Amino acid sequence: MTNYIIRRLFSCVLLVILVSMVIFMLIRMLPGDPIDLLLPREDMIGLTAEQLQAHMDALRAEHGLDRPLPIQFGYWFINMLQGDFGRSIVRGFEVGPELANRMAVTLFLGSLAFIFSIVFGILLGTISAIRRGKWVDTVATAIANIGITAPAFLIAILLIYVFGFRLRLLPIFGYHLPWRGDFVQSIRQTILPVFVLALSPMALTARQTRSSVLDVLNQDHVRTAWAKGGRERAVIFRHVLKNALTPVITLQGNNVRLIFGGSAIIESIFVIPGVGRLLVDSMLSADYPVVQAIAVVLTLITVIANLIVDLLYGWVDPRIQYS
């Protein structure tokens, strides 16, 4: 087991290097040259074509974009290991500190949403499987269906319309962390984004839990457990849920991606200063260093989530062996 973890950690490091290399190369294929955006219009007036070219080359050299790609990658990667993520080409800020600030916001909201989704997802799914066809099942399935069928931005817009414009109960944009400034205001700002972020993963978890609990309920060992006179709680937790959780756990790696991928949309709608919004903005302006840094950090999160998922497999299903 320890061996397995060490080997997996090692391959995780390789994975992050590989992914950052691929992203580094692919990003250079994005349309648009950040140097174009950087060049002030006034500077271009009255310049000949050669002077303009020279000016752009100088800017390119200043940002290290004139060197061969592998060299650029090498410098960037080594600097990053030393904690230097470089500077934004388009907007000039230091990427490292800016990223740390924004990551705190995205991670905070994302983790809250993840915990919320997993607890209520498994709860809803299990209850509706056990009471299959009863009204509890109907209600739980309806909630799950709303979460699966309604896109996050629609839910967000509806909630903004109802709670923001009509009832004027909750703020409709802006965000700061609870420990930085007005605590109550921060909590009010947290409610809508976390709810919207959690809804779809919660629904997916509930649906998968229901379907695999139904599968397990029909198996012989569960009938034996009932026949032995096991109490409902014991049968469900010890015999059904533990066996039904493998596909549910598989889903969680995906849900982590879903939450952090969805953060771009949620942060755009609620005007939250997080990583997702920064990613989209930098992507559209082809701001290489920012996109690269965010991609690596998000990759790191998903790699760790996947490792945890794989380790959990062995915990819930001892038939799967690590070798």
Which residues sit at the interface with other proteins, rule CB under 8 A?
Answer: 11, 15-16, 18-19, 22-23, 26-27, 29-31, 145, 148-154, 157-158, 160-161, 165, 204, 207, 211, 214-215, 218, 246-247, 250, 253-254, 257, 260-262, 264-265, 268-269, 276, 279-280, 283-284, 291, 294-295, 298-299, 302-303, 306, 313, 317, 319-320
* Rounded least distance, CB 315 to other proteins, Å: 14
94 DSSP β-pair partners: 87
- Upper half-sphere CA count for residue 251 (Cβ side, 13 Å): 22
State which residue, 11 or 51, has the beta carbon closest to other proteins: 11
Output phi, psi for 85, to 5 deg: -90, 5
Q: Are 258 and 200 in contact (CB under 8 A)?
A: yes
d(CA 14, CA 11): 5
* Rounded least distance, CB 54 to other proteins, Å: 30
* Rounded least distance, CB 316 to other proteins, Å: 11
* Rounded least distance, CB 50 to other proteins, Å: 31
Place of tokens 């739980």: 140
Closest listed residue to residue 21, CA positions, set 73, 62, 66, 61: 73
Closest listed residue to residue 122, CA positions, set 262, 218, 215, 241: 241
Burial 243-274 (b: 16+ CB within 10 A, else e): bbbbebbebbbbbbbbbbebbbbbbbbbebeb
d(CA 99, CA 293): 8
State which residue, 168 or 231, has the beta carbon closest to other proteins: 168
State which residue, 193 or 253, has the beta carbon closest to other proteins: 253
State which residue, 35 or 210, has the beta carbon closest to other proteins: 210
State which residue, 25 or 71, has the beta carbon closest to other proteins: 25
* Rounded least distance, CB 166 to other proteins, Å: 10
* Rounded least distance, CB 207 to other proteins, Å: 7
* Rounded least distance, CB 165 to other proteins, Å: 6
State which residue, 189 or 252, has the beta carbon closest to other proteins: 252
Angle CA 8–10–15, to nearest 5: 90
